[in-house]
Structure 1
Amino acid sequence: MTSPTRPPRPGLPFFVYGTLRAGEANHRRFLRGRTLREEPALLTGAVLYDGPGYPYAVEEPGGTVTGELVTALPEAYPRLLAELDRLEEYTPGDPRNLYERVTRRVTVGDGTAPAWVYVAAPAVAARLRGRGKLVEGGDWLARR
């Protein structure tokens, strides 16, 4: 399906699909002034579920999630990575994680690129599959 999780790669861009997208509250809080590029992108092999004020990407064959590929300024990258991990309540190896940070290839322009993606942690994904509300079309901004 997709590539396995790899160790952190300095400078790897982020695929964002919810509150970190341009115009959303966490974009202003975390990304404004700290990026080189922000480009429309798609994550295939995942679907989107509505969460309590934010979405969860859940890996599912055949699905597509709309978002943006965000490339951070090199000098902002280490601190930004740590801040996004805290925002997404992700700690490597912690079974209480809401999200897991994984490397996936996303479609951007007419090609693909590797990116960090925060996907629902296994226990969260199982709950969402059982009783979550799917965001039709996979675009968090279009749900309104």
Structure 2
Amino acid sequence: MSAPEDALPFFVYGTLRSGGRNHAAHLAGRCADIRPAVLDGAALHAGPGFPYAVPDAAPGRRIVGELITVRPGAYAGALEALDALEECRADGTGLYVRRRMSVRTAAGEARDAWVYLAGPAAAARLRERPALIESGDWAER
């Protein structure tokens, strides 16, 4: 199965990062490239064992993660698996929503990527009870 034309890399920032439990379960063996990256203009919040990303225009807000390029033959399966893991629904009501966003690699290159952001219900809970990870890095929380 070939990758669709909008087969963007994924920006991952929590349990899907290299060494994370969900990376091993959903991405291991499917990756063509993994490189450090940053999502500017977003904040990282702690959830119940996993993080949430939310847009945040406060100065200096950023999330540290990885830009993962999936092998073309594995892309459709990876996209389906990640959407299911993140409870990403087409109507936007899931635990997470998948958005095309620009991330910055460690080399300074801007790349479009799929990013899973907190869905509406999760974002509302975070506004009521924020659990900000100041470093923006799930591995350094």
TM-score (normalizing by structure 1): 0.90
- Sequence identity percentage: 49
The equivalent position to 1:103 in structure 2, one of 97, 100, 115, is: 100
Cα distance in 2 for residues equivalent to 1:10 and 1:73: 14
The equivalent position to 1:137 in structure 2, one of 135, 138, 141, is: 135
Deviation at 1:94, TM superposition (A): 4.4
1:3 aligned partner: none
Cα distance in 2 for residues equivalent to 1:140 and 1:9: 31
SS in 2 for 1:126: helix
Amino acid at match of 1:24: G
Question: Root-mean-square deviation (CA), in Å?
Answer: 1.2
Per-residue CA deviation, residues 82-132 of structure 1 (Å, 9 max, x unaligned), is 00000000111142x111000000001221000000000123112102203
**Structure 2 residue 36 is matched with structure 1 residue 40:** yes
Q: How many residues align?
A: 135
Deviation at 1:133, TM superposition (A): 1.1
**Structure 2 residue 19 is matched with structure 1 residue 18:** no
SS in 2 for 1:129: helix
TM-score (normalizing by structure 2): 0.91
The answer for unaligned runs of 5 or more in structure 2 is: none
Cα distance in 1 for residues equivalent to 2:134 and 2:22: 22
The answer for unaligned runs of 5 or more in structure 1 is: 1-7
Cα distance in 2 for residues equivalent to 1:135 and 1:77: 30
Matches within 5 A, 1:1-144: 9-62=5-58, 63-95=61-93, 97-108=94-105, 109-143=107-141
Deviation at 1:9, TM superposition (A): 4.8
